[in-house]
Structure 1
Amino acid sequence: MEFRPIERTHDAFQQPVTAEQIRAMCSRAFGSRVEVISAVELGNGMYNNTYRVDIGGNGPVILRVAPEPARQYRIERELMRNEHSSVPFLAPIAPMIPRTLAADFTREIIGRDYLFQTMLDGIPGPEGIGNYPRPQWTSFFRQMGEIAASIHAVRGEHFGPVTGPWFDTWSEALIAHFTDLAADLDDSGLDATDVREVAAAAHKYAAVLDEVTEPRLLHGDLWTVNVMMDPDAAEPTINGVFDNDRTSWGDPESDWVIFMAGKKPGTERDAFWESYGPRPSTASAAQRSLFYLAKHIGALRLERHRLGNAEAVPESYEQMRDVLDQLR
């Protein structure tokens, strides 16, 4: 078996598995007679460990291994299980997402969740879009708007992550998120005072937040890094969506894809709104958007800390201060 892991330090968040463990996982998923020819770790993800595994006649498959439970933040609790449960709700984009071939959440082999998926065709979005002249990028973002709209059209029965915990109101779900985020920051040795202030403001503005009464499906991580593109298409064409583990039920305006699409107005990203539709322009929507911005700033702060990007962490405090000034 050819085994090519990514070399990491002992204290890195992502910890690799061994060749023997990969053989054991393949044997459990595909039978004791499976022949594991190679396992190559892919480096484009920052949470799960991802491997391209060649199992002979069955072709290459993707193996994703979740972090150890003790390494998982509260706001990222059991994301792999969340993705597994979200697949039926992602039916509108079913042809684009990988199929699950096997999943093992017993933690008997390595003490971590893992699953095998089909390997999507194409090339990663950041690589693919660079192969086209910039004026053609509008096609890419228009497709992104179509995909986001089809996901957001799916209705739910409660607010919160797909696997829970669930909440009856949108304000309760957001307050719970900010409470968990503050605890995660505490555990990481970072100041969480501003996040607690946002949680207190969410209590104060609960009536505004609870104008959102119908939970919609949110992808949570949809953007260029999590799509595949057709390398032979005449114009930028998205043909795959992966890393669907941050799905939840909530206000579409709070989704990551909305935040990213609106980040650089006056650029090719504006094509997103042509297919997605206009954003709400009420005063209440503007107030809610401040909480959504705080949600993204806080999550990015935690992720930058986890990745060892200490120089970028202070910026998040300045950004959160601006949000709190507007909420006050």
Structure 2
Amino acid sequence: MESITKNRQSRDVLRAMVERAYGPGRVPGGEGWASELGHGWFNIAYRIRLRDGYEAVLKIAPPSGVEVMAYERGAMGVELAALDLIGGNTTVPVPRVDFADRSRELCDADWFFMPFVDADNLGIVGPGLPAAELAAYKEQVGAANQEINSIRGTAFGPLAGPGDTSWRRVFTGIVEDVLADGERRGVDLGRPYDTVREVLAEHAGSLDEVREPRLVEWDLWDGNVMVRDGKIACVIDHERAFFGDPLIEVGFAGTQLAAFGDPTPFMRGYGQGPLTETEVVRRRLYCLHLVLILVIETVYRGYSGTEQYDWAREQLGEVMALLGRAGR
């Protein structure tokens, strides 16, 4: 996926990064030792083969001069913290961090190396799998997501703080940041921004039911799951993690919006039964948050086509209708 947030670097800079991370004796020579992994949407990722044959993945954050959405600022630091939390408190397979550099000395962004995982991306191979095999993987994703959500926090909000004891305040603030991002760049939602704010306020009472902060991935799409031999080999891309309500996880989105797929295998693996009336309202608010981002980020990423924008605008209309505001 092409995006202006992808921070491509020259081969000389990549060699300098390898030297800093692994030492001069492992710096590759010749040609063909670096290739771009192209399916990501935000960071640039390279597959790097070192001189001794070891294969690594290098992730580089967006260029410092490219404006990103409020919730994406400092995303690589969030990922490093999330990897530490998940790796130290669960059995969920996540990448080991070989080396991280946040000095901005070799390029204008944070970057880190991790081992290359020789496995298939579920987002790529999933559509071609037999239905039963795909469902089995999605059950495993649900179980892994539940284990991640078992990690408790001391407050709602960013991993590094500041936190808040009120999930209502935190979540409404998160949505307000997204709306402010859209207004700043003049993104057309097809309805007034204040109408979205009114809908959020009308249903915000449902958020008060959430009392215990849990680590949430929020971004655990099939495309962030690597699979091999019938099992999850690795869960990648943790830069959007925070402490919140587990029901905000994207695996539950299909309970309200059919476009996000059948959530049944995920929920079965998670151990989640039917949602209560209040949980349904919360999940609709979380769908609202998600599709607002999917609409607004198209401008920040500089996508050349309108396919995602058009699709996300349609989903926004559907979720607004579910929340009692059909039409514009």
- Band of TM-score, shorter chain: 0.7 to 0.9
* Structure 1 Cα separation of the partners of residues 162 and 42 of structure 2: 21
Q: 1:229 aligns with which of 224, 227, 240?
A: 227
* Structure 1 Cα separation of the partners of residues 255 and 94 of structure 2: 21
Query: SS of 1:239's equivalent?
Result: strand
Partner of 2:104: 107
Q: Higher mean Cα deviation, 268-277 or 40-49?
A: 268-277
Q: How does 1:100-249 map to 2 (within 5 A)?
A: 100-130=97-127, 132-191=129-188, 194-230=192-228, 233=229, 236-249=230-243
Query: SS of 1:40's equivalent?
Result: strand
Q: Higher mean Cα deviation, 134-143 or 150-159?
A: 134-143
* Structure 2 Cα separation of the partners of residues 206 and 194 of structure 1: 19
Partner of 1:3: none
Deviation at 1:127, TM superposition (A): 3.9
- Conserved in 1, the CA contact under 8 Å of 2:252 and 2:267? no
* Structure 2 Cα separation of the partners of residues 280 and 70 of structure 1: 45
Q: CA RMSD in A?
A: 2.7
In the superposition, relative to structure 1, how do residues 246 and 195 fare at CA in structure 2: closer, same or farther (>3 Å)? farther
* Structure 2 Cα separation of the partners of residues 121 and 262 of structure 1: 35
Deviations 1:113-172 (A, max 9, x none): 100111113121134435642233221121111111111111111112323443221111
Q: How does 1:8-157 map to 2 (within 5 A)?
A: 12-37=4-29, 38-57=33-52, 59-71=54-66, 72-91=68-87, 92-94=89-91, 96-130=93-127, 132-157=129-154
Query: SS of 1:107's equivalent?
Result: coil
* Structure 2 Cα separation of the partners of residues 95 and 152 of structure 1: 11
1:284 aligns with 2:278: yes
- Conserved in 1, the CA contact under 8 Å of 2:155 and 2:165? yes
Deviations 1:83-113 (A, max 9, x none): 1011232135556111001111111211111
- Conserved in 2, the CA contact under 8 Å of 1:216 and 1:250? yes
Deviation at 1:190, TM superposition (A): 0.7
Q: 2:247 aligns with which of 253, 258, 261?
A: 253
- Conserved in 1, the CA contact under 8 Å of 2:256 and 2:283? no
Aligned length: 315
- Conserved in 2, the CA contact under 8 Å of 1:101 and 1:118? yes
Deviations 1:47-87 (A, max 9, x none): 11100111122601110000023422212111111010112
* Structure 1 Cα separation of the partners of residues 255 and 285 of structure 2: 17
- Conserved in 1, the CA contact under 8 Å of 2:92 and 2:148? no
* Structure 2 Cα separation of the partners of residues 177 and 16 of structure 1: 30
Partner of 1:308: 304
**Runs of 5+ in structure 2 lacking a partner?**
none
In the superposition, relative to structure 1, how do residues 327 and 159 fare at CA in structure 2: closer, same or farther (>3 Å)? farther
- Conserved in 1, the CA contact under 8 Å of 2:37 and 2:47? yes
In the superposition, relative to structure 1, how do residues 137 and 321 fare at CA in structure 2: closer, same or farther (>3 Å)? closer
Amino acid at match of 2:75: L
* Structure 2 Cα separation of the partners of residues 43 and 272 of structure 1: 26
* Structure 1 Cα separation of the partners of residues 256 and 280 of structure 2: 13
Amino acid at match of 1:273: M
* Structure 2 Cα separation of the partners of residues 279 and 93 of structure 1: 23
- Conserved in 2, the CA contact under 8 Å of 1:171 and 1:202? no
Query: SS of 1:116's equivalent?
Result: strand
Q: Higher mean Cα deviation, 285-294 or 310-319?
A: 310-319
Amino acid at match of 1:45: G
Q: Higher mean Cα deviation, 45-54 or 179-188?
A: 179-188
TM-score (norm 2): 0.85
Amino acid at match of 2:117: L
Deviations 1:198-246 (A, max 9, x none): 344444544321210111111121121111111xx3xx32211111111
Identity %: 27
**Runs of 5+ in structure 1 lacking a partner?**
1-5
- Conserved in 2, the CA contact under 8 Å of 1:65 and 1:113? yes
Deviations 1:259-280 (A, max 9, x none): 1577559x87522222212345
In the superposition, relative to structure 1, how do residues 311 and 129 fare at CA in structure 2: closer, same or farther (>3 Å)? closer
Amino acid at match of 1:209: L
Amino acid at match of 1:245: E
